[in-house]
Structure 1
Amino acid sequence: MRPSMKLFLFMLLSFVFSNQAFGQQSLREKTFDQTDKEMAEVKEKNAAVLAPEAFAKATEFYKKADEEFRKGRNLDEVRKRLKQVQNYLVRCRETIQLAEVALKTTISARDDAISAGAAKFSDVEWVKAEEKFVEATKKLENGDGKSAKTKGGEAEAMYRQAELMAIKTNFLTPAWTLLEKADRLKVEKNAVKTLNKARELAKLAEDLLRENRYDNSEARMNAQNAKYEAAHALYLNEQISRFKDADMKFEDVYLLAEKPIYKIGKAIGVRTSFDKGLEEPTNDIIAQIVENKNNLKTALKIIEKRNNEITALQEKMKSMEGKLGNLTVTEQTLRDKLELKRQRESLMREVSSMFASNEGRVLRDRDNIIIRLYGLTFNVGKSVIEPRFFSLLTKVQDSLKKFPESSIVIEGHTDAQGSAENNRILSEARANAVKQYLLANMGLSQDLIQAVGYGELRPIESNETKDGRAKNRRIDVVIIPSWAKSASDL
């Protein structure tokens, strides 16, 4: 047989087999389509838990129908199997409707336990609650509504307990861990007051969670303070033990306490004297800090006034430029520089207008431009960018395109909750996620963009308030324009 004929037969057979496979897939979709939709619907409504027996039967017959179809059995037999599946799916829907009424409060308790992470933080209690709930739904399937409600009530109590334990574990584990360590090290011998304070704060947080597990801001604050005081007690124990081992006297301890106050005073120009104790030099330092703060406010007002004067002079100069006929080389250079400055300011305003107030704010740091992305948030402890923020990052891309050949630094920042090292690692991961997104979508050079994580080191607001912490958790996109890399033009 000639090679050309062999090639023709090969192509013909490939076409036939391809058509057969396509036809088989098309036939399956036509046969199973309605059943697949109904299966998806009951799965979405949690049929495996709310109607376990009917759903198990539906799944069993569905697998048999699928197996018979793949083996090429008679389609009428396959359709009979699918009819059995649909009959059980009807029972699933009926039982789900009953459960949503008869076991409404239990379902609500289960949803709350899921939201609290009970499966992770109180897994034993969660499994027991799930088992009890399945017992209730099986009773409901078999028509025993009374027993179903009884077991549902038991499951509800178990879900609520699992939820509470999950919330406690999530909030209090760091403090509990440090308190256990303190007990092992017998910290109460050296720092009993601080240790007791930590225990009281932990108990208060636990009581607050028990009383109102949903309004937990006060409990969270007490849990964090308990963690701090426990760590404080451990530190005091270590230092006091060291003092005892070194046979240090009270004089040595006082002299050590004076050193940091002396250093602070020296740094801000305050002469510190300790002949009357620590309070007087401490008050002197505070007074100097307050004075410096007030001086800074005054200086900022003066700067603002000077900027307004500069703006007025620029406007006046603009008016005068039209009247000047022959400009010297120096005057022409100045006008060119002013025009360049106006162009850059116009570019800043244009970029600022691209972001809504809840998305971000555009700032200027000398020649650098900072896009502060308030609207880009991450799940707790995560660094994955959710699709809902892609439109915001598209605006960032559009902004970056207006500064060609610029260097870009993606800065990650967090609030002060958690450990400093974990915050630094998390902030760096989030900054790197934004960097990788921009690299993937803009074709930037690796040499022009870097990611840095500062953790909690550069707050812009106080970490003592919820709003302050929210503003401190941010991504800053710092643009270093090409003109900033050389000598300043202005």
Structure 2
Amino acid sequence: MVSRTHKILASVAVAGFIAGCASKPPNVQSISSSANPTAEIEKTEAMINEARSKQIDVLSPENFTDATKALDKAKQKKDKDKPNAEILEQVAYSRAWLNEANTRAEIARTSMHQITDAREGAMKAGAPKLYPKEWEKAGKDLEKITVAIEKGNLSPADKRGEEIVSRYRDLELKSVTKAYLGTAKDNLDTAKKAGADKSAPKSFGMAAMKYENAEKLIKADPRNAPVIARASQDATRESQHLMEVTRKVNAGNSEELVLMAERQQRTISNLRSEYSSTEQELQTVQSEAERQRMELEKQQTLLNRAQALRSQLKPNEAEVFTENGKLMVRLKGLQFPTAQSNLGPKNQALLKKVEGALAGVTPKKVIIEGHTDNVGSAEANRILSEKRAQSVENFLVSQGTLPAEKVESVGMGYDNPVGNNNTAAGRAQNRRIDLVIETE
């Protein structure tokens, strides 16, 4: 008995069929004559391709075909340089037929949800390529049902729906099995023909068990790809092992001897792997120890150079320390009056002493940092600090000890104080020069 829902769907489908019999599609939405024919054709073609990806060509084949035909006519008219109005009329027809196809497909989809789901599963499993004849036959039978639905007749779907679902489900199972277990099945069949079920029963039994386990998982849920993939890989690997054992047995060995030799080989491989791992760990430890030794030597060399500098400069002249792998010389005795950058005689005398001390540490690079107190604006202090650093750079380079390419001066402004800017003594400390020395 046809249900009330089916009667409603049938009445809607019949109305659509009557409209479909007209010379032109129903509900045509005209396109403005100012529209670009090429753009409208491309847009409609994209709509048709999207509909095809949603199986509209299967669920509403007649309307879908009319839509593609109308679009082809539009392309032909465009190629023949027909008026835009004629081209756009066919594009409008194509879209109207496509709308009808979408409407009828929704009706078909409602009536045949299980069929479309089964077909989609078989298609994703690769049935069209793996079993082309069966796929084509099922498609023809499905088309008869969808055409009937399109014309308002749901009876074929009610009568043959379960049969079509079953055929597509079977195709899905067969396709998944062949795709995932094809190699394992071929290996098992080849091994059996070679008598492996009798000459190598342990290996044959293990390979057959792995295959059956994967097959059961596919039958339980052919769409659980991760689980099926793992089980199938296991089955394929075991079938390849069976082929290798069969080859050795047929060469005159017993299966027991072959399997024993494999166990011994695995033991040897494991021991080699453990030895290799231990050797790599030892090399890693040695490399780390060597790195630490070199780092300590580097640090000690840096400390020795700092001490050498410190021994040539008085505590009130400079503070020498190491920081981030570099020598730091804070010129405490180098004082600048507020807002000035000129080097006085006392400053020049100290810089000559510093220059002599630097010669003993072979500097690779010397960055001269100028610093100020916080009196005045940030920009003014940055410029002032840069001028002070530049004054020191000019003096040191002029003496010839430091080549110009090894010296760089930068102005730090008042961003890095070492004294309290709220006191006169602190501000004096902040008006300073720091030498950052990178050694060879």
1:213 paired with 2:197, answer no
Deviations 1:20-77 (A, max 9, x none): xxxxxxx997346446534431431223223210111222233334434544556665
1:56 pairs, out of 61, 65, 79, with: 65
Correspondences of 1:309-348 after superposition (within 5 Å): 309-324=293-308
Separation in 2 of the partners of 1:210 and 1:172?
A: 13
**Unaligned segments of structure 1, at least 5 residues:** 1-26, 265-278, 340-490
Q: How does 1:430-469 map to 2 (within 5 A)?
A: none
Q: How many Å separate the matches in 2 of 1:67 and 1:48?
A: 22
Give the structure, 1 or 2, with the largest relative contact order (CA under 8 Å, sep 6 or more): 2
Q: Which amino acid aligns with 1:304?
A: E
Q: How does 1:136-215 map to 2 (within 5 A)?
A: 136-148=145-157, 151=160, 153-215=162-224
Indicate how the Cα distance of structure 1 residues 150 and 305 shifts in structure 2: closer, same or farther if over 3 A, else same.
farther
Q: Does residue 87 of the first structure (1) align with residue 71 of the second (2)?
A: no
Which residue identity is paired with 2:291? N
The CA deviation at 1:176 is: 1.1
Q: Select which of 278, 282, 288 maps to 1:304.
A: 288
- Asked if the contact 1:178–1:231 (Cα under 8 Å) also holds between the matched residues in 2, the reply is yes
- Any conservation in 1 of the 2:207–2:239 contact (CA below 8 Å)? yes
Question: Which letter maps to 1:233?
Answer: L
The residue that corresponds to 2:76 in the other structure is 67
Larger radius of gyration: 2
Q: Name the amino acid aligned to 2:288.
A: E
AA matched with 2:237 = Y
Amino acid aligned to 1:114: M
Q: Does 1:106 align with 2:112?
A: no
- Structure 2 gaps, min length 5: 1-32, 310-356, 366-440
- Given residue 314 of structure 1, which amino acid in structure 2 is its aligned partner? K
Deviations 1:89-133 (A, max 9, x none): 331232233344333443333333333223223333433343333
Task: Give yes or no for contact 1:205–1:222 (8 Å, CA) kept in 2.
Answer: yes
> Paired residue for 1:224, among 223, 227, 233?
233
The CA deviation string for residues 403-432 of structure 1, in whole angstroms up to 9 with x for no partner, is xxxxxxxxxxxxxxxxxxxxxxxxxxxxxx
Taking a change above 3 Å as real, the CA distance of residues 28 and 203 of structure 1, as seen in their structure-2 partners, is farther
The answer (yes or no) to whether the contact 2:44–2:91 under 8 Å persists in 1 is: no
How much does 1:198 deviate? Answer: 1.2
User: Counterpart of 1:135?
Assistant: 144
Partner of 2:420: none
What do residues 204-246 of structure 1 show as CA deviations (whole Å, max 9, x unaligned)? 11111111223344543443343333333333333333337xx
Partner residue in 1 for 2:50: 44
1:160 aligned partner, one-letter code: R
Q: Return the alpha-carbon distance in structure 1 between the equivalents of residues 220 and 173 of structure 2.
A: 10
Distance 1:259 1:231 in 2: 14
CA distance in 2, matches of 1:135, 1:166: 24
Sort the Cα spacing of 1:35 and 1:295 in 2 relative to 1 into closer, same or farther, 3 A: closer
Q: Secondary structure of 2:145's partner?
A: helix
Give the residue type in structure 1 aligned to 2:197. E
Q: Structure 2 length as normaliser, TM-score?
A: 0.51
User: Cα 1:190–1:71, aligned 2, differ >3 Å: closer, same or farther?
Assistant: same
- CA separation in 1, counterparts of 2:111 and 2:295? 72
Distance verdict in 2 for CA 1:28–1:287, change over 3 Å: same
Query: Offset of 1:319 from its aligned partner?
Result: 4.3
Offset at 1:182? 1.5
Deviation of residue 308 (structure 1)? 3.8
Cα shift at 1:134? 2.7
Percentage of identical aligned residues: 20
**Aligned counterparts of 2:212 and 2:92: Cα–Cα separation in 1:** 58
CA RMSD of aligned residues (A): 4.4
Aligned residue type for 1:239: K
Measure the CA separation in 2 of the matches of 1:74 and 1:219: 58
Tell me if structure 2 keeps the 8 A contact 1:35–1:85. no
| Separation in 2, partners of 1:206, 1:168 | 7
Q: Measured at CA, do residues 164 and 328 of structure 1 come closer, stay the same or move farther in structure 2, by a change above 3 Å?
A: farther
What is the rounded CA distance, in whole Å, between the counterparts of 1:141 and 1:41 in structure 2? 20
Query: TM-score, normalised to structure 1's length?
Result: 0.47
SS of residue matched to 1:144: coil
Query: Equivalents in 1 of 2:81, 2:159: separation in Å?
Result: 48
Equivalent pairs, count: 283
